Amino acid sequence: MNPTAGSAPVLAFVMAVALALGLAAVTAACSGGATGVGATGGGAQPGGAGRTSGGHKGATSAAAAVPSAAELKSALLTEHDIGLGSEVDPKSIGGASIAGCEPLAGTLNATMTATSGPGEHAASSGFAGGGTGPFLAEGLTSKAPNLLAADYARTSAALRSCRSLTLTSGGTHLKFTMTPVAFGDSKNTSAARLKGSVQGFGVNGYLAMERFGPVVLSYYFIQLGGSSSQLASTYYQQAVAKAGKVLALP
């Protein structure tokens, strides 16, 4: 089926799901809660100054400065950076729920509307590429490394072990199969390829998380039709490089 023909409702749903899941993943990555992965907080992407993710370590000293929300926001990708046509605030997209993989699904649901907790800072952004996408959500969150370590470990482990997620918004259901993959150019990334369909349209994407000291990156990419990882990986590496340069993390 041609994804450009009569697909406006599908596109609206896919964008809502993409941004809602992206925001939830951002929030879950840094937070602790009853589900074991977190109930508040956010994910972010750190990088080292002027370096890509491959040059970073998974942790820095506890004395590392924790970037503020304003600093995190300045390190996010922008329309100018990646050339996608419109920017969307992920927090403006709501009404989605997630089921099928615990504890990841429960954590994502619990954190869908959460705000940063004490000692945490977060910033997020979303983009729509018009037509059939792609749709992208990115988040950066900072927290003291000694507090972040266990929460992030549980979240990334859940991401690696999850095999399916079903997202529901406005009565429409989208079931993704999830396959762990190597993503970007860093060995420290936890990522999964997402594959599903809605109303006859193929939907493919990637969900990735990575920690650098006091900062975590959460990244979500979805597109209708094509399943190539090249564009998703390119944007992810751009996000890593920009965050590393702007935040100048060791």
- The tens digit of pLDDT for each residue in 111-120 reads 554 455 667 8
d(CA 120, CA 138): 17
Average pLDDT over residues 63-92: 79
More confident residue, 42 or 153: 153
C-alpha dihedral, 63 to 56 to 245 to 148, nearest 10°: -40
d(CA 59, CA 100): 31
- Bridge partners of 138? 125, 219
The proportion of the chain whose per-residue pLDDT surpasses 70, expressed as a percent, equals 60
Q: What is the pLDDT of residue 73?
A: 92
Q: What share of the chain is helix, strand, coil (3-state, %, to 5)?
A: 30, 30, 40
Confidence of residue 20 (pLDDT cuts 50, 70, 90): low
What tokens were used for 6? Answer: 């009569």
Query: In 10 A of CB 157, how many CB atoms?
Result: 15
Average pLDDT over residues 67-88: 85
d(CA 238, CA 28): 22
The tally of CA atoms less than 13 A away on the side-chain side of residue 228 is 6
- 128-142 pLDDT tens trace: 776 667 888 888 888
The type of residue at 112 is M
d(CA 29, CA 149): 10
Q: 122-126, 170-174, 176-180, 188-192: lowest mean pLDDT where?
A: 170-174
230: pLDDT strictly greater than 70: yes
d(CA 200, CA 188): 35
Helix axes 104-111, 145-161, angle to 10 degrees: 130
Q: What is the pLDDT of residue 5?
A: 38
Phi, then psi, of 28 in degrees rounded to 5: -70, -30
Q: 13-27, 138-152, 190-204: lowest mean pLDDT where?
A: 13-27
Q: Where along the chain do its domains lie?
A: 8-202+218-226+242-247
